[in-house]
Amino acid sequence: MEEKHKKILQRNRVGLVRELDPSKLYDGLLETAVFTQDMIDEIKSSGTRRDQARQLVRDLETRGSRAFPLFLQCLQETGQQSLAELLQNGVPAVHLQPATPTEVRPVVRPLPITSPMDVDKQRRDDDPVRPIPRPSTTPSPSPERESLRPRPQGRTRRDSIQGYKMDASPCGHCLIINNVEFDLQSELSNRRGSNIDCDKLERRFKTLNFIVEVKTNLKQRQIKHELSALSKKDHSRSDCCVVIMLSHGTEVSHNRFPGAVYGVDGQYVPVQLITNYLNGQNCPSLQGKPKLFFIQACGGGEKDTGFEVSPDEFEPSFGGADDQTDAIPMSSSSDSLSMSDEPDARATLPTPCDILVSYSTFPGYVSWRDPQLGSWYVETMDRVLEENAATDDLVTMLMMVNNEVSQNSAKGLYKQMPGSFNFLRKLLYFQTQT
């Protein structure tokens, strides 16, 4: 799209989000090849009418030079003449050129990471240095041979904060998507060590009385299919639902949850879309129940070198010498917090109730993974759950994970800071085994 047309959309974004009816435009935008069916489906699943309008305008800016005049034409044909006039006010009339046989939207491939110190570009195993081992956890006993242990009476919490009901058996479903081997054309490296993460998490959540299903090496469309299938299950007898994504990641535009996770074909699924599959609108049987998402993937390509602290503040821990990252550079501009959109976003975005998204790293930064021991984040979280699930709530345990991971160092230099977007309303205590 031409820069002048992008500026027109950006300047009128608030008005478009307030007045636009996207449902009337989908057929026309599909017929004129402005959007693909996958893009239309993604916009439809983004939430309310305003959410869909906001996403449509955002995606429109990424299309070809014919996108703007075709958008105006669709507005006029669907009776939204006032919006078409708003966009045309003060600019020359646009004339459509005959369509060419070339693809409207080029295939977007991840850019190579150009940093000379970037360890994620390892597509050949030529580093002879062995990792410095970190403490490992012992395998958890299987839940089949053990009985559920009730929450100990000694737990302390504020009386004003309730706890989620978490006594169903099984507690709920846990879907793990583990992408290890990526297609050659995706230009993404294989994720050595991810199977170790997957095995740990499968054992851990079985111990916490979840039905665990593992899916390996899924393409973008397959990831969406599995999430859709999970949303269509009957969760009425469950108390919770968990989704775990182990893959490469990147930073994308968003208005709620940052980041995206790659399929093995090099096409990504935004975290925001992943959470939408299980929201109250798309999965009624999970309304009022906690929906937990754990994302082991990079939020971007930036590396954190940390800052100096007093030697007695923490005991340093060092990662392996050949630790890798799951980073892919940012795939599109983050315009979701632009001044033109901010007032409307504040006024209209609903709270994503009963959802917690835990990220292995701060948005925009890489996430480190040891090919021999697994990722820092998963290794630490598995150990914290093993040692503290019987006494502490989930949010408290995730703070423990944040603290421990923040003290690791890759190559003796790089740091990592996990974090969460927490929209839970109550305390969450997992079931534990005796």
The CATH number of the domain holding residue 24 is: 1.10.533.10
The DSSP code for 301 is S
Q: Is residue 94 situated within a structural domain?
A: no
What are the CA-CA distances from residue 64 to residues 100, 105, 221 (Å)? 11, 6, 23
pLDDT of residue 422: 93
Residue 75 sits in the same domain as residue 198: no
pLDDT of residue 148: 52
- Contact present, 293 and 245 (Cβ < 8 Å): yes
Q: Is residue 151 situated within a structural domain?
A: no
Q: Among 375, 383, 369, 372, which residue's Cα sits nearest to residue 137?
A: 383
39, 72, 88 - which closes a domain? 88
Indicate the length of the chain as a whole number: 434
Indicate which residues carry an active-site annotation. 248, 298
61, 88, 115 - which closes a domain? 88
The residue ranges of the chain whose pLDDT is under 70 are 90-160, 254-255, 298-352, 362-369, 408-415, 434
What phi and psi, each to the nearest 5 degrees, are found at residue 211? Answer: -80, 115
Domain that holds residue 24: 3-88
Instruction: Taking the CA atoms of 392, 286, 352 and 327 in sequence, report the sign of the dihedral they define.
Output: positive
pLDDT of residue 160: 61
Q: Is residue 262 situated within a structural domain?
A: yes
Distance of alpha carbon 54 from alpha carbon 16, whole angstroms: 8
Tally of CB atoms within 10 A around 199: 16
CA dihedral 292, 296, 301, 306 (to 10 degrees): 90
pLDDT of residue 247: 92
Residue 82 sits in the same domain as residue 169: no
pLDDT of residue 246: 95
The total domain count for the chain is: 2
Instruction: Please report the DSSP string for 222-275 in residue order.
Output: HHHHHHHHHHTS--TT-SEEEEEEES-EE----SSS--EEE-TTS-EEEHHHHH
Residue 77 sits in the same domain as residue 168: no
Q: Is residue 225 situated within a structural domain?
A: yes
Q: Is residue 120 situated within a structural domain?
A: no
pTM, two decimals, is 0.57
Token digits for 399? Answer: 């703070």
Q: What does the pLDDT look like over 270-329, one tens digit per residue?
A: 999 999 999 888 899 999 999 999 998 864 344 333 333 344 444 444 455 445 455 444
37, 71, 88 - which closes a domain? 88
pLDDT of residue 127: 42
pLDDT of residue 364: 54
